[in-house]
Structure 1
């Protein structure tokens, strides 16, 4: 129990750090979205407007992630006996959909618009102002990304939290998207060819669709029900096999229920000769041993049968 309480405290501290990371990203994206929108409308730049849509999508997604952090920590109740841990993956899935619809599709629309309008004269002063906006956006997005990566390193190089992974993916994509938009705008300004901005908008859209697909696929797998890592499953089975009272582990099933909640269900055969009281004590001891070693395994179920006597015994 002491181990589980310590694990819960660590999870709470991690959630606070993740919440701060999301809030930093949200603040940066809200300011950037306004600046990009104003700059894009003034310069009539499709690449800059694509990046404005990108930042709006990221801002909405970070609101989703904040909701995920709050709602997933609710305690278990009658209707949800295993808790609300999967809420985090549901809201992350919504964030992925938001990236695809609001960011990717709008960028494709801007690319089509730029190609259909053809080459047109551009205002040098407006485009320079737009490039300056993107330069500030690059600085802000880079700061947010550094913050997210710093937390990633503090966690030992493993971003298990889907909210944290989403922020890293969004910020990384935002940095690349800003660079693409700057390149498209600069080449359009120099050559007078709108195709460069159309290409930049198309590239931004493709990038956002790819990120949305990766994040959405992962959230889908977790919502459907995914097993723990093979290494952890192998270690749990090895520990069960090592118990003197266990004759055979017939099956072992695992499923992640949340950030710090895992279901472990094992069908085991005990050695012959144990009475009912001994079976109950062995069962409780094995459950506690699993929970002590893997604190996230807070739902452990054992289906126990007594192995038949071996031939010759």
Structure 2
């Protein structure tokens, strides 16, 4: 799907959702958002980016890529901002690979930075998937089991994970030769980055902190618009909303995230308008929280221009 089609799709989906949930109710919820939870969510976005940079630094250095803490933080802010603005939700990570590659004439120079970034992001998705599955299981076995649709959600997550595993296995089998060589080194790289001495607990610690910051920021966004979620609902439902941001049909998760929140919030006793408003506010908070990346890009351009003049 081209960028133009994605933009049209997202705009149409958001318009349809706003119409279905009552545009006036949606606007009223956003206008009434409490500032303190929003500010707290903005702080959490900074914590999430800093923790993500630490996880990337841990992974890259384990694979032998030289990377300083300052550069890791700078590059992660830039990538986070681009992920908020460009289609797919991973475009900033592609740029991060390109900006941290070695010798561009050497094909292998791309391999280590690409593997480091893919493994770093994969760690977060694995932990998020585990949290989502565990939260849904507790939801189904507990009070949530009485709510229609909870069991269907759990089955859907299981099917989605199974299809993802099959698709990954199929890609590894039928991949072109160059991609196959890259994939061949992926398994050993994961073992080094995740299971090397002292690595596992640090990977888990950073990934849990990052996932917790995501969930808490979304919960604060929902509380800010007057629809606080119970802790179990945060753990069971918010990860599902966040996972929809990986779908390649959206732009930085917009549209798919709001549709999921509008569908899932009634399971927690809130209105669909509450879910959509919380998702929109979360998206805005994430975008504003990543804006330091724009300052870093501008700063580098100024320095580059000064260097050329000199």
- Under TM normalisation by the shorter chain, which class is it? under 0.3
Flag the structure with higher helix content.
2
| Alignment TM-score, normalising by the size of structure 2 | 0.28
Flag the structure with higher strand content.
1
User: Who wins on radius of gyration, i.e. which is larger?
Assistant: 1
| Alignment TM-score, normalising by the size of structure 1 | 0.28
